[in-house]
A and B are shown apart, each in its own frame.
Chain A
Amino acid sequence: MQDTSCYHCGEPVPANVDISSEIDQESRSFCCIGCQAVALTISGAGLENYYQFRTANAEQATDLSDQQEKYALYDEPSVQQKFCSYEDDTAAATLLIKGITCAACVWLIEKHLEKIEGIEDVRVNLSTHRASITWNTNALKLSDIFFAIDAIGYHAEPWKANRAAQQQQKESHTALIRLGIAGIGMMQVMMMANALYFGYYTGIDKSYEAFIRWASLFLSTPVVLYSAYPFFNAAIRDLKTKHLTMDVPVSIAIALAYSSSIWATFNGTGEVYFDSVCMFTFFLLLGRYFEMKVRHQNSQVSNDLIGLMPNSTLVYSEGEYRVTPTEQIKVGDKVLVKAGHTIPSDAKVINGTADVDESALTGEYLPVRKTEGDSVMGGTVCLDHPIEIEITTVGHQNTLSLVVELMNKAESSKPRIARIADTIASRFVAAVLITAITVWGSWMLIDPDKAFWIALSVLVVTCPCALSLATPTAITAATSSLKRSGLVITSTHVLESLPTTTDVLFDKTGTLTEGKLSIAEIVTPSGLTHEEALALAAQLEAASEHPIGRAFPSTTQPAQQVEVTPGGGLSGDIEGQTLFIGHSAFIEDKTQVTQVTLPDQDNWVVLANNHEVLAFFKVEDTLRADAQQALHTLHQQQLDVHMLTGDRSQNAQLIANELDIKHVHSGLTPQGKLDHLAELHTQHKRTLMIGDGINDIPVLASAGISIAMNEATDLAKTKSDMILMNGQLSAINKAFDIARQCRKIIKQNLSWALVYNLIALPLAATGYIPPWAAAIGMSASSLVVVLNALRLRKI
């Protein structure tokens, strides 16, 4: 017997699914036809090594056969020009690839695309998931590239660096050059400093000393003038705005040490501190560099979410339906919405009947049946049957746009968070400057010769290096630790403010629950076993796009002559017998069974033949596997848990009872959710909102901290502080742990920096520490801070 997890995606293979193929000379089983198709494509191209190379399973393949129209849009020159660049016969584009899980994916995509005729160059970046592709426009269409990527189980979207991203790349390059020059300069100057120190003890010829000093001066000049430039620039800005930051004492220390060393070099007297200057600059730049990297990574997540591509819509014009970018539709346009597609704008149904999934806007987990004359909302999904609609509103009057508008207003009411380090820093800086001046003044009275050097060592020893590294290093380490548990942070204030949270607000559908239906219970009045009943239902529902249909396991032997009754159910032939599955009313209508008695009031699907009911299936939006445990931990930590849902049904209360949530608010509009949040804010509660739907976006934008689920709409994700990638709610508990730990470490780091300064300052002020010793002490204290922060990675 083969193993029971899917060879491609690693998901368990459902019991009654038997899909297998021979790959790499062994029979492999799959969980669905999608995964099988992908695996066959991969092995067909001779790339089965992927399965040996990979270190993480692939994502479950989805059937994307209806993407054809959308991809055809990419071949239109007007659309293509937005993200492609051309040179003679070749074109280049950057695509964002979804579904990359490990380095083997990069290998697979590159190898697979390289084999396609017309592709000239492919490079995939593992950390940003972007692929740079160059191809010959005569030999290959762009849409073919998209199909090729789909065929091996990934999904591509056009990507173009927006201005923010371009600026980031430039900033990152400049920072790296500054850091590199400071590093090289530091190493060279230190080497020379060694010679000078040895010379100091064993005696050195004056002329050699002068020569080495001149060489050090030459080497450290680019470090001071180019690498340390950002500090001077920021310090000048600070003095202008009268808001002190670390940059002020840093700049003063560098400028003084450098200019005094120049003076000493020219006059051949005193001491030179070129080595301290370079080391100082290098360490500070290193801290800033790491901080910048985290910042860029975070904003990259949100950059990627801003979709470049309009969705395509089928608009009726001149006798046929044409693929049109959604943004071009007008009021009165006749639009065809196929099963599984999103309704582009608020509209009225003019032809056809279909179930529409409105959960993103209303939170209701069961589809709503829409027929001729009913109005449908933009952003909802047509599930089971094509419908023709007439657009009634576009642009600002759209339900979707109204939510966005609400969000923009809500955003400004987001509580502000004071950053610990900023407040401490400005006070500390003022204290250091006053101390240095006082020390200098006092020594002028005692011994004017030493005054300058002692004041200098006060500035160097109190180097705010440790202080300025304290927060960024801790946050960097905590961010990468959180990423491993499935939470991606998009704004860094999260880690500092999460531990102070008092109230946690959850959306229901798609957040606490899976957001997709599954079978909770089976009742078989006919004497069939549960497995038999399930297998029959699965065969009937095999081709169904409907969420209820997807609740049933997939199968390779679909029923014959399946007939769909929109909003009712479906019928089909299995082994010569006609079977029906659907709502009780549908069964009563189609079969000779006149009265179907459901086991209870919940949502049941009925399976029947022409004469009798064979089985009842209870379909439910199931809770996420770890919801129970995650909520329990939140309760234990004395956090108030709320549930805000748009769902009006009984289901909300049932789920709340199951999870022991006391504050339940159901049937809320987006405005209602926002009002509830505002009320909490007036009570000075600190809120954390977790949601996924379009109706959650205003609340996500306004809550103290917000987490969007990975399945959430892109807009919800861009407005959130964190994105939960793996759908495991327990990651939220982990986030609390890590944030608390992070706060603790920031505090430890800050207190260590202060204690170190308190000890070192009097010693320097009384003249016991020469500036070179101060520089070593500064580096050592920075090292302690960095090592302490690295402990966060181990959580």
Chain B
Amino acid sequence: MDSILFLIPVSIIFLTIAVIALIWNIKSGQFDDMETPAHKILFDDDEELMPDDAKPLKNTTSSENKDKQ
């Protein structure tokens, strides 16, 4: 049981760090926009980063069609 005499103060130190981090987060405006980042991550706009053979099927088929024309 004596361990709590050590662990509780340690947890309080961690807590203080968490609170300081939170205050910094809020003041630097990271909580000002709660909507946009949630949507942003869903856009698949990294096509140029993919290797050619791993690209989605849709593009290859439609360019094939175009070739036939």
Asked if residues B43 and A215 are in contact (CB atoms below 8 Å), the reply is no
Cross-chain contact B40 with A106 (CB below 8 angstroms): yes
On whether the beta carbons of B39 and A173 are closer than 8 Å, the reply is no
Contacts of A208 in B (CB 8 A): 1, 4
Q: In this complex, which of B1, B26, B31, B44 has the most chain A Cβ atoms within 10 angstroms of its Cβ? A: B26
B45 to chain A, nearest CB (A): 6
Tell me if A184 and B43 are in contact (CB < 8 A). Answer: no
Question: Known contacts A184-B19, A211-B5; is A127 also within 8 Å of B36 by CB?
Answer: yes
- Kindly state whether residue B32 has any CB partner on chain A within 8 Å: yes
Contacting A at CB under 8 A, from B19-39, are 19, 22-23, 26-27, 31-36, 39
Task: Determine whether the beta carbon of B8 is less than 8 Å from that of A215.
Answer: yes
Nearest CB to that of B65 among chain A residues?
A: A25
The interface size bin for chain A is 20 to 34
- Complex Cα–Cα for A169 and B32 (A): 8
Nearest B residue to A53 via CB reads B43
Chain B min CB distance to A310 (Å)? 29
Are A103 and B18 in contact (CB-based, < 8 A)?
no
For chain B, what secondary structure do more than half of its interface residues adopt (helix, strand, loop), or is it mixed?
A: helix
CA of A125 to CA of B34, assembled, Å: 9
Identity of the chain B residue whose Cβ is nearest the Cβ of A103 in the assembled complex: B39
By DSSP majority rule, is chain A's interface helix, strand, loop, or mixed?
Answer: helix
The residues in A between 81 and 109 inclusive whose CB is less than 8 angstroms from any CB of B are: 103-104, 106-107
A180 within 8 A of B: yes
Please state if A184 and B34 are interface contacts (CB–CB under 8 Å). Answer: no
Assembled-state Cα–Cα distance A176/B23 (Å): 9
Contact status B45-A49, CB under 8 Å: yes
Residues from chain A with Cβ under 8 Å of B22 in the complex: 177, 180-181, 184
| A173, A205, A211, A212 — most chain B CB neighbours (10 Å) | A173
Given contacts A127-B35, A211-B4, A215-B12, contact A103 B45 (CB under 8 A): no
A219 to B23, CA, bound (A): 17
Which residue of chain A is the closest to B34 with respect to CB atoms? A127
From A25, A124, A176, A212, give the contact of B66 (CB < 8 A): A25
On whether the beta carbons of A126 and B33 are closer than 8 Å, the reply is: yes
- Per a CB cutoff under 8 Å, which of A111, A126, A172, A184 touches B39? A126
B45 touches which of A25, A107, A125 (Cβ 8 Å): A107
Q: Chain A residues with Cβ under 8 A from B11's Cβ?
A: 188
Q: Contact: B36 with A125, CB < 8 Å?
A: yes
Shortest Cβ distance from residue B13 to the other chain A in the assembled complex, whole angstroms? 12
18 new A-B contacts at CB < 8 Å, known A127-B36, A169-B32 = A25-B62, A25-B63, A25-B66, A53-B42, A53-B43, A106-B39, A111-B45, A125-B36, A126-B36, A127-B35, A173-B27, A173-B31, A177-B22, A177-B27, A181-B22, A184-B15, A211-B5, A218-B12
The 7 sampled A-B contact pairs (Cβ below 8 Å) are A107-B45, A176-B26, A177-B26, A180-B22, A181-B19, A205-B1, A211-B5
Sorted from nearest, which 6 A-B pairs have the closest CB atoms?
A103-B39, A126-B36, A127-B35, A125-B33, A126-B35, A25-B62
